[in-house]
Structure 1
Amino acid sequence: MKPATDGGDLKFEQRYGIFYQIAKRARDNYSASQISKGIPTVRPFQVVFDEFMQPLVDADQEICVKMASGVEFVVYDVSERSISFRKANGSTLHTLSITTLREIYEGTQEIRPNGLRPYYQPLSEQLAKLGQQITQKVALKNYVLIIDEINRANMSRVFGELITLLEDDKRLDEPNELTITLPSGEPFSIPPNLYLIGTMNTADKSLALLDIALRRRFEFIYQKPDSNLLQSPAREILDRLNSAIRANHKSADFLIGHAYFIGKSDLASVFNNRVIPLLMEYFNGNTKTVAKLLGEAGITANPDEITDQLLVSYVE
């Protein structure tokens, strides 16, 4: 719930997070893909709303909406949370909540009998009419949400009870399908065409604290450094360096990744600014050990006269 102003009044409105949004898009596609050709259905609100507002957004063309009385009001601006309209008498200090329009469109809220009802009513009816369509067979798509450094968050707090819904058999239309009720009262489930990919660095110390509940619901696929993605001489240098790291009894978790070298032509700079500082951390600041390691990889590193920092002047 986030604070917002509507017509000068402060109120709190529901804001949709990234996971909710992609889950809803995936559910809309999944449901549409299960419908046979020729059956009426309702298009997603955001698609219909964007289409309705397109003349205003693209061409700065005001949109007229006819009320039940036959009088028109004019939509002249749209923001992330609301639309601004001008009454027939010229008054402009009026807004309608996009969240409220969405809830009316989706049937989760009735139009409230207040002073804005004459404006919500015709606009929501126009959106509903625009949203009706006769569907063709819709292809089932896959939706992917990538969570970088997933192990750095407290998964119990991030997902809460939603973490149970991630399991394959708890998805929509699966044998043990589960639906939860959000604080707003809306039912929520996860479709089978939504995939979550979490990335993590195995050298990160926070990996040891990874929630066991997360481990049970994800497959763990190890991605080792791939020197074949590099050009010579970076390819050969990376192979020699990683072989030297393993020979010094370091775990495979401490191998240097190919990403450090992709698109880089100045290899000396890569070593000085990225690889050597990382190796110094891995080997607890032991300059002699790191210099020996680099030497085994064919890289000559000399300590700076003042700072003792290892520096590479040329890589071939």
Structure 2
Amino acid sequence: MERRTLENICKGINVWTDWQANYKKFVPEFIKEAASGSHWENWNQDVFHEFFIKSSDQCVSSLKQGYFTNKEKEAIKTHWDEIAPLLQKIAQEQYNPQYEVYNELKTQIREYTNFDRRAATNRLIAGLQPQLLCTIVNQHKLWELYALLTKHVAEPEIEWKPTWFENSYQMQQLFKKALQTDDGYQIITYPWQVYEEHDFTHSNKAPNNDMSEDKIAEISALLKYKKQIILQGPPGTGKTRLAKEIAQMLTDANSTSGLTKEIITANCQNQTSIPTAKTKLNFRILGVNGNGVRVENSEGKEYTAPYNDIVNMYEQKAWEKEGVIINGANSYSAAVAKFLYGKLNATTTSENTKDCKIIQFHPSYSYEDFVRGLVAKPDPDDKGIVYNAENKILAQIAEEAYQNFALNQSTSQPTAEVNISHFQLFIDDIKEQIAESKEQKLSLTDQVYLFEPDDKKFKYKGDNWIAHKNGLNMKYSELEKIIASGVKERSQIKNIPDLQELTKQHSSYFIRIVDMYYEYLKKHPLPSQTEVVETKLKNYVLIIDEINRANLSSVLGELIYGLEYRNKPVNSMYAIDGDKQLVLPPNFYIIGTMNTADRSVGHIDYAIRRRFAFVDVLPEALEEDEEIYFNTAGFTKVAALFNSNNVSPEFEAKDVQVGHSYFIVKKQDAPSIEERDELFRLKMTYEVVPILLEYVKDGILNGTVAQMDVKNYIISLKQ
């Protein structure tokens, strides 16, 4: 097949003039403002909005290639004094790439973002150097264009480099040469339009596998809608890591944003230098005392910034406004507030939280391991072994999510919160009565009594009970719901929504405790004014790694119904305290990961498949950064195997291609280039090649590559 020239392809492009005009309007002004080194407040605000605030249709790359979140935008403003000098250096040099400064800016911005906003950062840099860098700011899409051009276009080959900056520079110069111009403004749409519009004969671009920040946000939105998703792809594509990032995005919203004395104290214990709120001088935090934070100014004089003043400055973002910092005392509080704002809004990378759990399925995993099952324990009366039903990981996190959801949704929420602030004192009083009684119990009726209270429940039973001889649980959370509802009659308890069946069945016992509570209130009345604190709705996430390795129909059981009909009770085959009901609330999310190359694992039937959304997570060329090296040459050679000529018709290339994680070496593991190259060799020889040879053995790969038998080609990859 005859190769066309890039010049010939570009002649068939109908330039996107609106984008080009917008680019020519804003980019020169952006360069001018950045080159001045001035504070963002002194910029032309239309220009600042275009590059730092706008979240769609931005002039450098209008095709949704990654944007900063609102929280991250505020952090960038807060740390402007650290970012502005780097923007200035780049803007003042329009003819030579500034690779070191690019990386400095990227590293600096990374400190203020929840994820590596590569595309958003690349956009800023590309906008500052239009003559040098192209407008495809997404690394994966740039690599796709590179692969298509090297395969189908008759141009001198360009070598794929480790970073987006180098590859973007090469691509821009390639298009300049093809279009015979030195004016970057004239060609800004061409790389994108060639990628998007040109029909490369017999070539299919890879499925959309953009795992940039916008794609992660899109998957998060899908998860919020569907409630459960499965990330599917071949081995080594980062499915589990992506699941953790999505879970973090959801659970990050659970944290509170208010500043308290405790938070201030925890973050200001150690001596540290901080910038002032408005000037370029520095203060120094010396520690804390009973009144506030001890601050030393540039002249060595000490002042205490009061806690209340710091909170006030923090809430107002006083360092961004005129007229708020009106005296010297305010400046100390504002400086501390600015420091705390930047620190608290920086990225958090905690992998495990109480709101997020992760498990891995295996072929012998069962319903009793995952949802609810019988557990053998020694009889407390020393009469052998007893078998009690217990909630497992799914039911545990679902119950916690449901308790949060029920409190948040309660129409009597203010009453519940006011009473519950007093409720714990009442529970403590009951505990004391039980502890002080000779028999360590408190009677509810002539034959039924409370005993063995703990942090979550009372136990109760009757002397003549044959069933439940070890007692049942009277949960404090159930008592709270009854009190919150305002119900004071036993017959009305059955009408309260969201109560467990056991509570309704044994309402005569529960109402006795409720009566005791109101008697307690008569002796210990509530304060006349009590602050009402609303229960915040939280997100809870369960990650199931290798979800298709277990028999899902068997493991999920009746919860297949609960996945679709959220907040509707389903009956388990096991009862806890006489209650069989399980509920999956709408604030509970499930993320599964699935290896599409593993045909030995269980099939997901259509009933379950219908209840999940499936997201492809496929191999992509990465760029080196401050944390990793990427074996680009090795990745490209292996990727050449996965096409319609070499992959068996029984498989799709996207389901079996070896993922990018096999080509990554962490910089902390390779202090020198020699050690990096040796790790590249070891991973290729002992991780990648064995998988590929197994593919040949299983009939997945066949044919010839680069005029070599596929098996010999694979063996040649050993370095």
- TM more than 0.5: yes
The answer as to whether partners of 1:148 and 1:198 remain within 8 angstroms in 2 is yes
1: CA distance, partners of 2:553 / 2:602: 16
| Conserved 8 A contact 1:65-1:72 | no
Other-structure match for 2:589: 195
Q: Which residue of 1 aligns with 2:397?
A: 22
After TM superposition, the structure 1 = structure 2 runs for residues 153-168 of structure 1, keeping only pairs within 5 Å, are 153-167=550-564
Higher relative contact order (CA 8 A, sep 6+): 2
The residue number in structure 1 matching 2:376 is: 3
CA pair 157-229 structure 1, distance change in 2 beyond 3 A: farther
> Matched residue of 1:283: which SS?
helix
- Could you report, residue by residue, the CA deviation over 1:197-245 in whole angstroms, capped at 9, with x for unpaired residues? 1111111104672222221111110001132265555134213321333
Question: 1:87-98 counterparts in 2 under 5 A?
Answer: none
DSSP 3-state at the match of 1:192: coil
Deviations 1:50-77, CA, capped at 9 Å, x for gaps: xx9xxxxxxxxxxx9553764597xxxx
**Take 2:475 and 2:562, find their aligned partners in 1: how far apart are those partners?**
34
Q: CA 1:233–1:188 in 2, change beyond 3 Å: closer, same or farther?
A: closer
> CA offsets, 1:79-132, max 9 Å, x none?
xxxxxxxxxxxxxxxx9698xx96x65xxx8423379xxx989x9799999999
Amino acid corresponding to residue 15 of structure 1 in structure 2: E
Asked whether the equivalents of residues 150 and 199 of structure 1 are also in contact (C-alpha less than 8 Å), the reply is yes
Amino acid at match of 1:112: G
* Distance verdict in 2 for CA 1:163–1:128, change over 3 Å: closer
3-state DSSP class of the match of 2:543?
A: strand
User: Is 1:261 the equivalent of 2:628?
Assistant: no
Deviation at 1:39, TM superposition (A): 2.0
2:687 to 274, 278, 294: 274
Distance 1:247 1:193 in 2: 43
Q: Is the 8 A contact 2:665 2:680 kept in 1?
A: no
Residue 252 of structure 1 is matched in structure 2 by 654
CA–CA distance in structure 2, aligned partners of residues 278 and 125 of structure 1: 53
- After TM superposition, the score normalised by the length of structure 2 is 0.30
The structure with more radius of gyration: 2
Compared with structure 1, are the counterparts of its residues 153 and 229 closer, same or farther at alpha carbon in structure 2 (3 Å cutoff)?
A: farther
Call closer, same or farther: CA 1:156–1:229 in 2, change over 3 Å. Answer: farther
1:152-231 correspondence to structure 2 within 5 Å: 152-167=549-564, 170-172=565-567, 178-182=568-572, 183-184=574-575, 185-206=579-600, 209-228=603-622, 230=624, 231=628
- C-alpha change, 1:284 and 1:129, in structure 2 (3 Å) is closer
Unaligned runs of 5+ in 2: 1-373, 441-450, 485-529, 648-652, 667-675, 703-707
Calculate percent identity across the aligned residue pairs: 29
User: How high is the TM-score relative to the length of structure 1?
Assistant: 0.63
Amino acid at match of 1:8: D
Distance of 1:238 and 1:253 partners within structure 2: 16
Q: Which residue of 1 aligns with 2:463?
A: 113
Match of 1:40 among 416, 437, 442: 416
> What is the RMSD computed on CA atoms of the aligned residues?
4.1
Confirm whether residue 284 of structure 1 aligns to residue 702 of structure 2.
no
Distance change >3 Å, CA 96–CA 14, structure 1 → 2: farther
Aligned match of 2:406: 31
Q: Compute the displacement of 1:291 (Å).
A: 3.2
Distance 1:149 1:32, change over 3 A: same
Alignment of 1:141 onto 2:531: no
CA apart distance, 1:151: 1.1
Which AA in structure 2 matches 1:279?
Answer: L
Distance across 1 between alignment mates of 2:475 and 2:547: 43
Q: Secondary structure at 1:24's aligned position in 2? A: helix
Paired amino acid for 1:254: V
Distance 1:191 1:244 in 2: 45
Q: Can you list the C-alpha shifts for 1:149-205, whole angstroms capped at 9, x where unaligned? A: 1111111110111111101xx112xxxxx3222331332221111111111111110
Q: Is the 8 A contact 1:150 1:198 kept in 2?
A: yes
Q: What is the aligned length?
A: 242
Q: How far, CA to CA, are the matches of 1:125 and 1:163 in structure 2?
A: 28
Taking the aligned partners of 1:291 and 1:70, their CA distance within structure 2 comes to: 83
Q: Distance in 2 between matches of 1:39 and 1:293?
A: 70
Hey, what's the Cα distance between the residues in 2 that align with 1:127 and 1:152?
37
Residues 233 and 291 (structure 1), Cα distance of their counterparts in 2 relative to 1, 3 Å cut: farther
